Each structure stands twice: as structure tokens, then as C-alpha cells.
Chains A and B, each alone.
Chain A
């Protein structure tokens, strides 16, 4: 189990690295999907099958499809790949790398200082997740749903056909 966990985690990290360094938008998205699937496997191995399934359905299966959908419509050709290559100059990397290194150092310090977690993880089934969502976290769920509703109304407003425009053209 431990070995499986490390393999999945390594895949996730590698795939995420590839997401950042790819110049081709669709290829980067494909690596992002692989990364999300690897994270789902990590969830599953840590005893959260429900979270793993939702990760696949919602992130890999729905949100990323929409990303791919939009990029497909944009029809980015060879010229955009060239532009991306120029933007990804080595000098660009210095700043983010320094900041990420600080975070990494902190993470290593915290992991080293804290006691090791319990060996056998507890399996969190669908019922436990549901009880937590509609018990202690009810307010957060309601807030998230209000935000989604706002997004829905906004999308409806933007996509509404102009029935009676202020200026009638021609004729």
C-alpha cells in the first residue's frame, strides 16, 4: 500500500511539473488530467474512496473537459506554441522557484518536527462525508451553493439572446 501511495504521488508531482513546462496548451491540460487522476488514486489509497470518486467525476471528468472544450474552440496553432516558448524563458523561473523553495523548506521542517501519523488510516465512506457536509459544514455548503447560483445567473445573463436591442440596425 505504501509503495502504491508513493508511486501515485510521484506520478502526480511529475505530471504537474509537465503541466507547467509544456508550451502546447492541450498537452499541458492532458498532463493536468493525469495529475488529477493520480491525486484521486492517492485519496483512494488513504482511505477516502468517496473523495476519490468525486475527484474523478467532478475535476477530471467535468471541469477539465470544459477546459479542453474551450482550448479546442480557440484553435491555438503553432504560433501560440512559439509565443509560449518565448514566455517560458529560464530567467522567468527564478522568482517562482525561490518562493516555492521557501514553502518547501517550511513543509520539510513541519513534517520533520511533527510526530508520524497513525499507520492505519481510517476509511471515510460516503455516509460519513454526507453527515459532515450537512452537519458541521452546512454553512460552507450553503455559501458554496449561493456562489454557484450567482455563477449560473451570470452565465445565463451573458448568453441571453438580444431580443429587443436598443438600436435596430438597417432596413
Chain B
């Protein structure tokens, strides 16, 4: 096959995969949440309520797309798109199977960190442009939370980089052929997992949109398709972080018998379900608890892990 055609095909497949995964998550999350909370959840539209996604889409497309007169128009419109684009960009460096990756970048891991740090803008600017005090409070919380947890996320990943000797995600997966990094880098995995939750501001860490205190936080003023974009951005983030955990700590496409793509997708699916299970089971911490936990627990753990890993790598020569 022509290499250019093959590359385009990979781009289309990865893009469509990410988008349909995030659409499917709308249904999956509601069904799983209700399963764990002894309810039925959406089960009326189509088999198992699967067509609920289509119904939601139609509803969100035809809702009034309202921009408040007091908002900063341009920034208000651009902000949701910024969030979605920055998350989607990270999928470009994700190795799905040997040879199947959009861009085999030699600084792929840093690219992922850079894009996740740009994702803050979507939320911070969305909250600011709304010109609403609750939205602004949500945006401020989101900025501080994501900025802090990015630090621990990056530090935790450096242990993986030391062991595999590369920032290239394909090589990191290849380095886990004998032993997954979730064994040798266990503290890093725990820190990355928690930081991942905070980065996607999902339930235990969803203080930026805590509905009991801030109405809906940074997206209070958003409606229709722009609100939908924030939603899609969140589900894309969940998919991305799950896929990154699999790639970095759980051997990526490695596994016996089944083809590599199946292993990768299966492992990612398990972690997505884990995300939803945590949402169903954990309460929200207070904001100062969240920050104190990050700086007083996660940072020392990540640094210690880095120190020990460095010593081990040095001793082995």
C-alpha cells in the first residue's frame, strides 16, 4: 500500500476511534453508574438503550446556541474548541499496535505533556470569558489544580523514561516486553493515575465544576453544542489518560495469543471502566485537601521514586 494512503488511513481510523469512543462513553458511563448504584439508567431507546447517544446528540445539536451578551464573544466561542483540539492532538503520538501510530515522534511523551498543559487554556479561558463569578471561580480552581497535578504527572513519567531510555512512546512499549512498568514503577503508576484523574477533572477531583457549590463551574454559561464540546473533551480526556496508562505502565499492545490491537483496546477499556467506578464510589475532597494532598504526598513520592530509579539505573550500569 502507498505509504501516504496508509498514513492517512491511520489518521482517519485513530480520529474516528477516539471520537466514537468518547460518544460511546456517554452511554457506557450512565449505564455503568446506574448498575453500581442499583438503578436502570437509560434503557428505553434502542437495544440496551444504545440509541441514547443518538438522542443526546440530536438534543444537543438543536438546543439554542446562546452566547451571553456580557461574555467576551471570541474567547467564549474558541475556548471549548481549544480543549477538544489539545486532547485530540495527543492521540497522534499514541502507539496502538506495532507500526500503527499517526506520528512516531521521538519526543512523543513530552508532546503529550505539552498538549495536556495547553488543555488548561480551554477551561481557564472558557470560565473567564463567561464573565460570571461562579464560572470564574471554577476556572481558577481548574487552573490551579491542573497546573499542580501536571508537575506530579511529569515527574512520575520520568522514571519510565529512565528505564526505557527514550521519550518515544513506541520504544517505551517495546521496553516493556519482558516486564510491565506497573511492577518496576509502581509508585509512579499510582501518582500518574491520581494526577490523570485530576487532569481530566473527573468525579473525585471535579472541583472546577462542583455543582453543589459552583452551579456548573467553568461551563455554567455554556449551552448547546459548545457545552457538548466540553463534554466530548472530558470523555476524550478519559479515553486518552486510560490509553496512556496502558501504554506507559501496562505494556501497551503486549499480550499473549490475541492480536496487539485487541490487547491495547481491551486494556484501555478496563481502565475507562475503572474511571467510571471511581466516579460511582468516591466522594469529592475539599479544595485545600486536594492541593495539600498533591504537594505534600504526591510530590515527595514522585521525587523519591525518581531518586531510587536513578540509583538503580546507575547501579546496573
Contact = CB atoms under 8 A, between A and B. Distances in A.
A142 to B, nearest CB: 18
A66 B150 CA distance: 13
Contacts of B68: none
Given A53-B113, A65-B147, A72-B136, 15 more contacts: A27-B75, A49-B105, A54-B110, A61-B118, A61-B120, A62-B147, A65-B117, A65-B124, A66-B147, A68-B121, A68-B128, A69-B140, A69-B147, A72-B128, A72-B143
B227 interface: no
Nearest to B117: A61
B107 interface: yes
Contacts of A52: 107
Contacts of A27: 75
Residue of A52, A53, A54 contacting most chain B CB atoms (<10 Å) = A53
Nearest to B114: A56
A4 to B, nearest CB: 15
Closest CB pairs A-B (n = 3):
A61-B117, A53-B110, A56-B114
Mostly helix, strand, loop or mixed at chain B's interface?
helix
Contacts of B118: 56, 60-61
B271 interface: no
A163 B107 CA distance: 47
Contacts of B105: 49
A126 interface: yes
B110 A30 contact: no
A125 B106 CA distance: 8
15 contacts: A26-B125, A30-B75, A50-B107, A56-B115, A56-B117, A57-B114, A57-B117, A62-B150, A65-B143, A65-B147, A68-B121, A68-B125, A68-B128, A72-B128, A125-B106
Nearest to A55: B114
B40 to A, nearest CB: 42
Interface string A137-164: 0000000000000000000000000000
A73 interface: yes
Interface string B180-197: 000000000000000000
B246 interface: no
Size band of the interface chain B makes with A:
20 to 34
B111 interface: yes
A39 interface: no
A33 B110 CA distance: 18
Size band of the interface chain A makes with B:
20 to 34
Contacts of B264: none
Contact of B143 (A50, A60, A69): A69
Contact of A26 (B106, B120, B128, B143): B128
Nearest to B119: A61
Interface in B34-84: 72, 75
Contacts of A72: 124, 127-128, 136, 139-140, 143
Contacts of A73: 140
Interface in A18-69: 26-27, 30, 33, 49-50, 52-54, 56-57, 60-62, 65-66, 68-69
B167 interface: yes
Nearest to B165: A127
Contacts of B128: 26, 68, 72
Contacts of B139: 72
A126 to B, nearest CB: 6
Contacts of B144: 69
B120 A126 contact: no
